[in-house]
DNA sequence: TCTGGGGTCCTAGGACCC
DNA sequence: TCTGGGGTCCTAGGACCC
């Protein structure tokens, strides 16, 4: 392999982003254990402050469990506006240091400083400047990780948390990864970690030294990637231009489990409209439609089908979803319903976004991310879209009464 | 009193065609 | 007598991420 011209990647990861924003907005919350949750009745903890973490409160916990662990925890319903606004402002800070950055999610970004770090006194100096700028402007902390690739920059930010700055230099990769559990790496979850453990591989060093043939045999095409990851090598480039979406979907845990077909249909229509409307707004059409169902006992499955023509028409999506529902003999009450449109193409009837709006589109994606997180019907994806929604895009005539309870607040 | 939502990528198996 | 196999499309499900 040819000697790699080392890149310099910087990862900025907000510390407890939503919770920090809330604490900054409302001084009464500062220094206290808080958890940001959704507005629905069956919500979970999305972000918890560092004060709450001390009690063992974790992301994904339901509110009762969080309360049990931390009786004086304060729950705050998430406010997309605040987070998307902050995210948008953050990009202004990043762009001062490089044109090549990727908004990976609403609270995380990667900056490629390879060609610009020398202009600002080095990457560590940039990291400090960014941290300070964010602190000054928003009063919140972030952690900066620096590394020769995206995997290591991300790892560095994880290791540096909270409110830290950590640099994994090329010459330190080997020692930094030596005893690091593989689970710490971005892309290795609990299942893969378990399977690796069965092979006697627990640390990154062991992973990097494992025989390719073994990994390939056990993990297929991903085996090579895993081995490279163990050595701290990652070829994923910074995506400065957002890629086209592959799917657009919405799902919701219903306010209560339902069985009545009439009720199910009402939700399916609503979900189909949410999907169709988003596809139309972003100029996509698709021809694969999936219906997702979760029963009371959490058993979850999906059924998908293909329609002959690409569509983003609410009713085409709805009718297909309904047809697939007809093919299912429900064994229990339904807890969650979802509709997803995939096999997407750009809507040929619409003019694609011009090049100059690329960056803006990536910000949009980040905002989508927030709204995805609070994907309930009443929530918007960004301020400028809210107006249209407020204008009543969803006809109240077919809005099922049951949804109202979701919409409240 | 239970357990969110939106994505991407990968695999495996079947249908169908040449 | 015997038995093919590549390629593509499609569906279902799992793992991972924020």
Looking at A40-189, list the stretches that DSSP marks H as alpha helix, in order from N- to C-terminal side: 50-53, 63-69, 80-94, 123-138, 150-160, 173-177
CATH value at residue A225: 1.10.150.20
Establish if A406 belongs to a structural domain. Answer: no
Å between CA of A375 and C1' of C8: 35
Strand duo A101-105 + A142-147: pairing: unpaired
Could you tell me the residue range of the domain that residue A310 belongs to?
247-384
Interface residues, strand C, Cβ cutoff 7 Å: A 104-108, 154, 185-193, 288, 290, 301-306, 343, 369, 372-373
A242 touches strand B (CB under 7 A): no
Condensed to tens digits (0 to 9), the pLDDT of residues A216-253 reads 999 998 999 999 999 999 999 999 988 899 999 999 99
Q: How far is CA A96 from the centre of its chain?
A: 25
Q: Which residue has 């095409």 as its token pair?
A: A221
Task: Please report, rounded to a whole number, the percentage of residues in chain A having pLDDT higher than 70.
Answer: 84
Establish if A402 belongs to a structural domain. Answer: no
Are A216 and A252 members of one domain?
no
A46 touches strand B (CB under 7 A): yes
Å between CA of A92 and C1' of C16: 30
Establish if A163 belongs to a structural domain. Answer: no
Are A113 and A196 members of one domain?
no
Å between CA of A3 and C1' of B5: 43
Question: Are A14 and A109 a contacting pair, CB within 8 Å?
Answer: no
Condensed to tens digits (0 to 9), the pLDDT of residues A161-205 reads 999 999 999 999 999 999 999 999 999 999 999 999 999 999 999
Q: Point out the nucleotide closest to A337 (alpha carbon to C1′).
A: B5
pLDDT at A271: 96
pLDDT at residue A156 tops 50 = yes
Please report the sign of the dihedral spanned by the C-alpha atoms of residue A158, residue A164, residue A170, residue A171. negative
* Alpha carbons A136 and A253: distance in angstroms, whole number: 39
Are A374 and A255 members of one domain?
yes
Give A184's contacts (C-beta < 8 A, 6+ positions apart): A155, A158, A159, A204
Average pLDDT on A79-103 reads: 93
Q: Point out the nucleotide closest to A193 (alpha carbon to C1′).
A: C15
| Model confidence band, residue A401 (pLDDT cutoffs 50, 70, 90) | very low
Task: Please report, rounded to a whole number, the percentage of residues in chain A having pLDDT higher than 90.
Answer: 78
Looking at A327-375, list the stretches that DSSP marks H as alpha helix, in order from N- to C-terminal side: 358-373
Cα dihedral A125→A131→A134→A135 (10° resolution)? -120
Condensed to tens digits (0 to 9), the pLDDT of residues A39-84 reads 888 999 999 999 999 999 999 999 999 999 999 999 999 998 899 8
Are A21 and A57 members of one domain?
yes
Which is more confident, A369 or A299?
A299
pLDDT at A353: 53
Question: Are A120 and A133 a contacting pair, CB within 8 Å?
Answer: no
pLDDT at A248: 96
Are A206 and A101 members of one domain?
no
Are A209 and A313 members of one domain?
no
Å between CA of A114 and C1' of B16: 50
* Alpha carbons A239 and A102: distance in angstroms, whole number: 6
CATH value at residue A56: 3.40.1170.60
| Model confidence band, residue A370 (pLDDT cutoffs 50, 70, 90) | low
Å between CA of A217 and C1' of C3: 30
Establish if A168 belongs to a structural domain. Answer: no
Structural tokens at position A231: 């050595």
* Alpha carbons A297 and A318: distance in angstroms, whole number: 25
Are A16 and A74 members of one domain?
yes
A249 touches strand B (CB under 7 A): yes
| Model confidence band, residue A348 (pLDDT cutoffs 50, 70, 90) | confident
Q: Which residue has 């979900």 as its token pair?
A: A271
Q: How far is CA A329 from the centre of its chain?
A: 33
Are A226 and A251 members of one domain?
no
| Region class of A346: left (phi > 0), else alpha (psi between -120 and 50), else beta | beta
pLDDT at A108: 96
| Region class of A121: left (phi > 0), else alpha (psi between -120 and 50), else beta | left
Q: What integer best gives the mean pLDDT of chain A? A: 87
- φ, ψ of residue A48 to 5 degrees: the values are -125, 150
**How many folded domains does chain A comprise?**
3
Are A44 and A135 members of one domain?
yes
Are A225 and A265 members of one domain?
no
A373 touches strand B (CB under 7 A): yes
* Alpha carbons A88 and A82: distance in angstroms, whole number: 10
Q: Point out the nucleotide closest to A275 (alpha carbon to C1′).
A: B6
* Alpha carbons A123 and A127: distance in angstroms, whole number: 6
Establish if A35 belongs to a structural domain. Answer: yes
Condensed to tens digits (0 to 9), the pLDDT of residues A18-44 reads 999 999 999 999 999 999 999 888 999
Establish if A203 belongs to a structural domain. Answer: yes
Establish if A237 belongs to a structural domain. Answer: no
Q: Which of residues 114-173 of A touch strand B (CB under 7 A)?
A: none
* Alpha carbons A205 and A208: distance in angstroms, whole number: 5
Return the axis-axis angle of helices A80-94 and A383-390, rounded to nearest 10°. Answer: 150
CATH value at residue A371: 3.30.1490.100
Are A88 and A213 members of one domain?
no
pLDDT at A320: 97
Domain boundary among A123, A144, A165: A144
pLDDT at residue A378 tops 60 = no
Establish if A157 belongs to a structural domain. Answer: no
* Residues of A involved in catalysis: 108
In order, the DSSP letters of A221-262 are: THHHHHHHHHTT---PPP--SPPPPSEEEEEEEEEEEE--HH
Average pLDDT on A320-349 reads: 94
Are A213 and A264 members of one domain?
no
| Model confidence band, residue A347 (pLDDT cutoffs 50, 70, 90) | confident
């Amino acid at each position: 392999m040819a000697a790699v011209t080392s890149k310099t990647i910087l990862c900025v990861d907000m510390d407890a982003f939503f919770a920090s924003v809330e604490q900054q907005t409302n001084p009464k919350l500062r220094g206290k254990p808080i958890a940001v949750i959704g507005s629905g009745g069956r919500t979970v903890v999305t972000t918890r402050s560092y004060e709450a973490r001390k009690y063992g409160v974790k992301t994904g916990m339901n509110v009762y469990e969080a309360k049990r662990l931390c009786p004086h925890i304060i729950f705050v319903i998430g406010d997309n506006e605040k987070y998307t606004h902050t995210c948008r402002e953050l990009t202004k800070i990043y762009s001062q240091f490089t044109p090549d950055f990727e908004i990976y999610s609403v609270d995380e970004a990667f900056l490629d400083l390879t060609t610009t770090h020398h202009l600002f006194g080095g990457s560590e100096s940039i990291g400090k400047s960014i941290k300070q700028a964010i602190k000054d402007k928003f009063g919140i902390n972030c952690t900066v990780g620096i590394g020769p690739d995206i995997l290591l920059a991300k790892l560095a930010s994880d290791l540096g948390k909270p409110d830290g700055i950590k640099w994994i230099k090329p010459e330190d990769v080997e020692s930094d990864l030596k005893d690091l559990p593989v689970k710490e790496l971005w892309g290795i979850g609990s299942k893969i970690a378990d399977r690796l453990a069965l092979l006697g591989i627990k640390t990154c060093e062991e992973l990097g030294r494992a025989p390719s043939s073994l990994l390939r045999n056990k993990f297929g095409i991903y085996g090579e990637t895993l081995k490279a990851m163990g050595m701290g090598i990652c070829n994923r480039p910074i995506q400065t231009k957002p890629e086209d979406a592959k799917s657009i979907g919405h799902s919701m845990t219903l306010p209560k489990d339902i069985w009545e077909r009439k009720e199910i249909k009402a939700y399916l229509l609503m979900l189909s409209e949410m999907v169709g409307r988003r596809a139309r707004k972003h100029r996509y059409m698709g021809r694969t439609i999936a219906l997702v169902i979760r029963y009371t006992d959490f058993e979850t499955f999906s059924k998908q089908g293909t329609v002959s023509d690409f569509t983003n028409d609410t009713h085409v999506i709805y009718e297909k979803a309904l047809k697939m529902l007809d093919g299912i003999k429900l064994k229990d009450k339904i807890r969650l319903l979802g509709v997803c449109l995939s096999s997407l193409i750009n809507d040929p009837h619409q003019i694609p976004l011009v090049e100059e709006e690329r960056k803006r589109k990536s910000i949009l994606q980040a905002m989508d991310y927030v709204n995805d997180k609070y994907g309930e019907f009443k929530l918007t994806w960004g301020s400028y879209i809210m107006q249209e929604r407020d204008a009543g895009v969803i006809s109240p005539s077919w809005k099922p009464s049951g949804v109202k309870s979701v919409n409240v607040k």
